[in-house]
C-alpha cells in the first residue's frame, strides 16, 4: 500500500517538476511548482517525517511560493515568450540526468554508514522538538539571529529612500581602466546576467 | 498508515468534485463562441491596454517579511507541541528561556521594521 | 540551555547583545549618528574582548555544538579586533549628515558573531549557520551604498555566488553525514577511524563539496571569480572587513574540520591541496601584477595569500605539528591586520575622492602626508613579507613548516611567488615617494581613519620586531586542537 502511494506521489512530483520547467508562462510554472512541493510533502509524510511535510507545505508551497509569485508580478510578465526548445539545453539536461542517476546510485551503494533502525515516532513533531531544543539548541537560537539579520537586510535594501536624502553621490559606473586583466571574471558574470533573456 | 485515510478522503473528494464541476459545466452549459462572449468582461467597459501590470515593490517587502515570520512560526510549532513533556521532565524553565531568547531576537527584528517604517504603506 | 553553557560562550553572547543594542539604539533614537552607534558597539566589543582574553575555562558547550577553547579564544580576539578597526573606519565613512548608513553597525556585529561561531563550532550544522549569519550580513554590507551601481553589483554578485557555494557546502555536509552518521566533528573522527573509508564515494564527494564551499569563501582558485568584483564594488571598510574577517573565519572552520573532524584523512587529499595552493597563489599574484586599481590589486593579493595559507594547511597534514599549525594562526592574525591597514588607505582616499582608488592617484602622497605614507609603507612591506614587519614572520613560520614537512618544492614555489608579489606591493610605495603629487590630491584626511592606520602600522612593526608573544598566543591557540586527537 505504502509503495503504491510512493509511486503515485513520486510520479506526480516528477511530472509536475517537468511541467514547471517546460511551461512558458512564469505564473503557470509557479503553480506547477506548488503542485510539485505538495507531492514532495506527501512523500515526506509517507516517510513519517511529519514535521518535514508540514514545513514543506507551510514554507515552500506557502510562503516561498507567495514570494515567487510576488516577484514574478513585480517584474511583470515577459511579453516575449522564453524559447525553450534549444536541443543543446535538452541534451545537457538529459546528460546530467543520466550522470546524476549513476552517481547517486553509486553513492548510496558505496557507504557503510552506521545508521541504526529508527523508532516509529522518528520524524514526528515531538521527535524533532526533542533534538531541536536539546541537542541543537544553539543552532536553533542562532537561526533566530540569522533571520533577524535577514530582516534587517531585506528592510534596508527594499526601503524607499527618504526624499531629498543623500543626493550628493550620483551612481558611479565602472571605469574602463580596471578591466584589463579581469575580463574573464567580468565577462563570465555578464553572461550570467544574460541567461534569463536568452 | 491508517491515520492518513481521512486526509486521503478529503483530497479525493476535493479532486473528484473539482473535476466533476469543470467537466459538467463544459458538457451541460450552453456555449456561444461569439467575439463578445470571449472577451474577459462581457459587461462594462472594454479593457484597455495590457493586464500585465507591474506590482509595486512594497508587495515584495511584505512577501519577504511574511516568509521570514512564517519560518519563525514553523519553529514555534515543535516547541509548543513538546512543551508539556519538557515541563513534566523538569526542563520547563529551561525551554521557556530558550524560546524567549529565540523570540526575543525576532521581536528585535520586528521592532526594527516597525521603527524604520517598513510596515507602513505610505 | 544552562548557565555554564552560556558562560562558556560569553564573548559571542556579548557581541550578539551589542548587535541588538545598536539596532535598538538606532530604532528608538532617531538622532543617533554614527558616532553614537560606534560608541555602543565598541562598549560591547570591549566587554566581549575582556571575556575572550580572560577565558581560561574550556570545554564543549550546548551538547557539542561549539567548543570554548584556546583556539576559539584566539579567533574571538582576532574577530573582535577586526570588528573594532572596521567600525573605526566605517564610523566616519558612513557618516553622511543627512542619512547616515546606520545599518552598517548591527550588520558588522552580527557578521562578527557568525565569524566567532564558525571558529568555535564543533558541529557541521553550527559551522553552516555561523557561515550563513556571517554571509547574509555581508551580502547586505556589500550593497550598503545603494546609490552606487558598483556596490549593488557587488552585493548581488556576492549573494548569488555565495548562495551557490553555500548549497555546495550544505550538500557536502549532508553527504558527510550520510557517510559518517554524525554532524558532530569528534564523533565523525571516530566513525572514520573505525572503518576503511578510502573507497567510500559518499565520503569523498561530501568532502569535495565541503572544500568547494569553503574554498569559495577563502577565495581559492578556481572559486575566486567573485573576489575582485565584490571587493571593488563594496564600500572600502566593508571590503577590508571581508578580506580580514571572512578569510580568517573560513580558515578557522576549515582547520576545525580538518584537524578535529577528519584527521584520519591523512595525506590522501594532500596532493589535491598542493595543486590548489600552487594555482591559487600563482594566479593571484600574476593577475595582481596587471591591476591599476588598488582595490582590485588587493583582491588578487587576497587570493594569493589564500594560497600561502593553504601551504600552511598542507604542512600540518597529516600529522599536525605545533610550529606549522602555529604559523597559520599567526599568519591569519597578521594578514587581517595588514589588510585592514591597506583598506584603511582606500577608505581614506575614497571617502574624499569619490570612488577613485586608481594606483596612479597615490603619486606623491608622501609629500603631503608623511605619517600616512609611512604607515602604508609598513602595510605594503608586511603584505610583501619583508623583514622588519609582521608579515615576514607569518611567511617564515608557514614556509619553514612546509619545508620541514617535506614539501620543499611547494615552499620554493611559494617563495618565488612572494618575490613576484613584491613588485606590485612596492610599486605603491615607489609611487608615493618617488613621484610628484597631482595638483589637488588629498588635501584633508579623516583623523579617525588616520589614527587607525597608525595603530595598525605600529602593531605590525611591533609584532615584526618581537614576534614571540604573538607566536606564543598562536601556539596556545592550536594546542587545543592538537590535544583533541
Residue B55 has what pLDDT? 65
Q: What number of C-beta contacts closer than 8 Å exist between B and C? A: 18
Residue A120 included in any domain:
no
Bridge partners of C67? C60
Residue C484 has what pLDDT? 44
Burial B64-85 (b: 16+ CB within 10 A, else e): bbebbbbbbebbebbbeebbee
A67 and B57 within 8 Å at the Cβ level: the answer is no
C358 and A177 within 8 Å at the Cβ level: the answer is yes
Residues C349-375: tens digit of each pLDDT: 776 445 556 777 777 778 878 888 899
> Which CATH number is A67's domain given?
1.20.120.1200
Higher pLDDT, B65 or C464: C464
Q: Are C267 and C212 in contact (CB under 8 A)?
A: no
| CA dist., res. B94 & res. C173, Å (int) | 30
Cα of C29 to nearest chain B Cα, Å: 10
Residues of A in contact with B70 (CB under 8 A): 58-59, 62-63
Higher pLDDT, A36 or C293: A36
Q: Are C379 and C341 in contact (CB under 8 A)?
A: yes
Nearest to C372 by CA among C349, C396, C398, C406: C349
Higher pLDDT, A92 or A24: A92
Helix (H) or strand (E) holding C448: helix C447-465
**Residue A162's domain spans which residues?**
136-184
CB contact, 8 Å: A122 with chain B?
Answer: no
Residue A170 has what pLDDT? 36
Residues C410-439: tens digit of each pLDDT: 999 999 999 999 999 998 888 888 877 665
Q: Which three cell numbers stand for residue C59?
A: 570545554
ipTM of the complex: 0.90
Cα of A106 to nearest chain B Cα, Å: 31
Q: State the residue for C-alpha cell 552517481.
A: A103
Give the 3-state secondary structure of residue A47: coil
C98 and A148 within 8 Å at the Cβ level: the answer is no
Q: Is the pTM of this model over 0.80?
A: yes
Bridge partners of C60? C67
Residue A173 has what pLDDT? 38
Q: Are C282 and C373 in contact (CB under 8 A)?
A: no
Residue C195 has what pLDDT? 66
C140 and A185 within 8 Å at the Cβ level: the answer is no
Which residue in B94, B101, B112 is closest to C23 by CB distance?
A: B112
Residues A90-121: tens digit of each pLDDT: 899 899 999 988 888 877 776 666 667 777 77
Cα of B81 to nearest chain C Cα, Å: 19
| CA dist., res. C120 & res. C249, Å (int) | 10
A67 and B68 within 8 Å at the Cβ level: the answer is no
State yes or no: pLDDT of A195 exceeds 80: no
Q: Which three cell numbers stand for residue C151?
A: 556596490
Q: Which long-range contacts (CB under 8 A, 24 or more apart) does A14-23 make?
A: A22/A84
A58 and B72 within 8 Å at the Cβ level: the answer is no
Weakly modelled stretches of chain C, pLDDT under 50: 352-353, 484-485
Residue C34 has what pLDDT? 82
CB contact, 8 Å: C106 with chain A?
Answer: yes
Residues of B in contact with A157 (CB under 8 A): none
Residue C438 has what pLDDT? 65
Domain boundaries, chain B: 2-46, 57-116
Q: Mean pLDDT across the stretch B43-56?
A: 66
Residue B111 C-alpha from the chain's centroid: 23
Q: Which three cell numbers stand for residue A12?
A: 506526480
Burial A117-145 (b: 16+ CB within 10 A, else e): eeeeeebbbebbbbebbbbbbbbbbbbbb
Q: Are C238 and C142 in contact (CB under 8 A)?
A: yes
| CA dist., res. A178 & res. C153, Å (int) | 15
Q: Which of A68-77, A176-185, C123-132, C381-390 has the lowest mean pLDDT?
A: A176-185
Residues B5-21: tens digit of each pLDDT: 888 899 899 999 999 99
Instruction: Please tell me the total number of residues recorded for chain B in this structure.
Output: 122
Number of domains in chain A: 2
Of A13, A45, A79, the residue that ends a domain is: A79
Q: Are C230 and C303 in contact (CB under 8 A)?
A: no
Bridge partners of C68? C59
Nearest CA in chain A to B118: A155
Close Cβ partners of A149 (under 8 Å, ≥ 6 residues apart): C106, C107, C110, C111, C133, C136, C137, C140
Domain boundaries, chain C: 3-484
Amino acid at each position: 500500500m505504502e509503495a503504491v502511494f510512493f509511486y503515485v506521489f513520486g510520479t506526480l512530483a516528477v511530472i509536475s517538476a517537468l511541467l514547471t520547467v517546460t511551461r512558458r508562462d512564469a505564473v503557470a510554472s509557479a503553480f506547477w511548482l506548488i503542485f510539485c512541493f505538495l507531492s514532495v510533502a506527501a512523500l515526506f509524510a509517507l516517510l513519517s517525517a511529519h514535521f518535514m511535510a508540514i514545513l514543506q507545505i507551510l514554507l515552500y508551497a506557502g510562503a516561498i511560493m507567495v514570494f515567487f509569485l510576488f516577484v514574478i508580478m513585480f517584474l511583470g510578465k515577459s511579453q516575449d515568450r522564453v524559447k525553450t526548445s534549444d536541443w543543446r539545453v535538452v541534451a545537457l539536461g538529459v546528460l546530467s540526468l543520466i550522470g546524476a542517476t549513476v552517481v547517486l546510485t553509486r553513492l548510496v551503494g558505496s557507504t557503510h554508514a552506521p545508521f541504526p533502525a529508527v523508532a516509529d515516532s522518528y520524524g514526528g513533531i515531538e521527535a524533532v522538538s526533542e533534538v531541536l531544543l536539546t541537542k541543537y539548541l544553539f543552532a536553533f537560537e542562532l537561526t533566530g539571529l540569522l533571520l533577524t539579520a535577514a530582516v534587517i537586510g531585506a528592510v534596508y535594501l527594499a526601503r524607499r529612500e527618504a526624499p531629498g536624502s543623500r543626493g550628493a553621490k550620483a551612481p558611479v559606473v565602472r571605469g574602463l581602466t580596471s578591466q584589463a586583466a579581469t575580463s574573464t571574471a567580468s565577462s563570465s558574470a555578464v553572461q550570467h546576467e544574460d541567461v534569463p533573456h536568452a | 498508515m491508517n491515520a492518513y485515510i481521512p486526509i486521503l478522503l478529503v483530497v479525493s473528494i476535493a479532486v473528484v468534485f473539482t473535476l466533476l464541476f469543470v467537466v459538467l459545466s463544459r458538457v451541460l452549459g450552453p456555449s456561444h463562441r461569439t467575439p463578445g462572449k470571449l472577451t474577459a468582461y462581457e459587461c462594462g467597459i472594454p479593457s484597455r491596454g495590457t493586464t500585465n501590470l507591474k506590482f509595486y515593490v512594497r508587495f515584495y517587502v511584505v512577501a519577504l517579511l511574511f516568509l521570514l515570520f512564517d519560518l519563525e512560526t514553523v519553529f514555534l510549532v515543535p516547541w509548543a507541541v513538546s512543551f508539556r513533556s519538557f515541563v513534566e521532565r523538569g526542563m520547563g524553565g529551561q525551554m521557556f528561556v530558550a524560546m524567549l531568547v529565540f523570540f526575543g531576537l525576532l521581536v528585535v527584528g520586528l521592532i526594527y521594521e516597525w521603527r524604520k517604517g517598513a510596515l507602513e504603506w505610505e | 540551555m544552562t548557565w555554564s553553557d552560556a558562560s562558556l560562550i560569553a564573548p559571542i553572547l556579548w557581541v550578539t547583545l551589542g548587535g541588538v543594542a545598536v539596532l535598538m539604539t538606532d530604532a528608538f533614537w532617531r538622532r543617533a549618528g554614527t558616532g553614537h552607534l560606534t560608541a555602543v558597539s565598541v562598549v560591547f566589543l570591549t566587554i566581549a574582548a575582556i571575556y575572550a582574553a580572560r577565558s581560561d575555562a574550556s570545554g564543549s558547550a550546548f551538547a557539542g555544538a561549539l567548543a570554548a577553547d584556546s583556539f576559539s579564544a584566539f579567533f574571538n580576539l582576532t574577530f573582535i579586533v577586526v570588528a573594532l578597526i572596521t567600525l573605526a573606519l566605517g564610523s566616519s565613512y558612513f557618516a553622511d549628515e543627512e542619512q547616515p548608513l546606520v545599518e552598517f553597525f548591527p550588520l558588522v556585529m552580527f557578521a562578527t558573531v557568525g565569524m566567532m561561531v564558525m571558529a568555535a563550532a564543533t558541529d557541521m550544522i553550527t559551522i553552516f549557520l555561523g557561515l550563513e549569519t556571517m554571509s547574509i550580513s555581508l551580502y547586505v554590507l556589500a550593497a550598503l551604498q545603494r546609490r552606487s551601481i558598483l556596490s549593488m553589483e557587488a552585493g548581488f554578485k556576492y549573494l548569488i555566488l555565495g548562495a551557490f557555494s553555500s548549497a555546495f557546502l550544505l550538500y557536502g555536509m549532508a553527504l558527510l553525514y550520510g557517510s559518517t552518521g554524525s554532524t558532530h566533528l569528534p564523533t565523525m573522527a571516530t566513525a572514520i577511524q573505525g572503518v576503511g573509508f578510502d573507497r567510500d564515494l559518499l565520503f569523498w564527494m561530501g568532502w569535495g563539496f565541503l572544500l568547494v564551499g569553503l574554498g569559495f569563501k577563502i577565495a581559492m582558485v578556481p572559486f575566486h571569480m567573485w573576489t575582485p568584483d565584490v571587493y571593488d564594488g563594496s564600500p572600502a571598510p566593508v571590503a577590508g572587513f571581508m578580506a580580514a574577517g571572512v578569510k580568517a573565519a573560513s580558515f578557522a572552520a576549515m582547520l576545525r574540520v580538518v584537524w578535529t573532524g577528519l584527521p584520519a584523512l591523512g595525506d590522501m587529499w594532500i596532493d589535491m591541496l598542493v595543486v590548489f595552493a600552487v594555482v591559487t597563489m600563482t594566479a593571484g599574484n600574476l593577475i595582481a601584477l596587471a591591476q591599476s586599481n588598488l582595490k582590485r590589486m588587493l583582491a588578487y593579493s587576497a587570493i594569493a595569500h589564500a594560497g600561502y595559507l593553504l601551504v600552511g594547511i598542507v604542512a600540518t597534514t597529516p600529522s599536525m605539528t605545533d610550529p606549522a599549525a602555529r604559523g597559520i594562526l599567526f599568519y591569519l592574525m597578521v594578514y587581517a591586520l595588514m589588510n585592514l591597514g591597506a583598506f584603511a588607505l582606500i577608505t581614506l582616499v575614497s571617502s574624499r575622492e569619490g570612488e577613485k582608488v586608481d594606483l596612479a592617484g597615490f603619486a606623491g602622497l608622501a609629500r603631503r602626508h608623511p605619517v600616512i605614507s609611512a604607515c602604508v609603507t609598513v602595510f605594503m612591506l608586511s603584505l610583501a613579507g619583508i623583514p622588519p614587519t609582521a608579515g615576514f614572520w607569518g611567511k617564515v613560520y608557514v614556509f619553514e613548516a612546509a619545508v620541514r614537512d617535506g614539501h620543499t618544492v611547494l615552499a620554493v614555489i611559494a617563495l618565488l611567488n612572494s618575490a613576484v608579489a613584491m613588485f606590485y606591493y612596492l610599486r605603491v610605495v615607489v609611487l608615493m615617494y618617488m613621484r610628484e603629487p597631482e595638483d589637488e590630491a588629498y588635501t584633508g584626511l579623516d583623523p579617525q581613519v588616520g589614527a587607525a592606520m597608525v595603530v595598525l602600522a605600529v602593531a605590525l612593526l611591533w609584532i615584526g620586531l618581537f614576534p614571540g608573544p604573538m607566536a606564543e598566543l598562536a601556539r596556545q591557540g592550536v594546542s587545543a586542537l592538537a590535544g583533541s586527537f
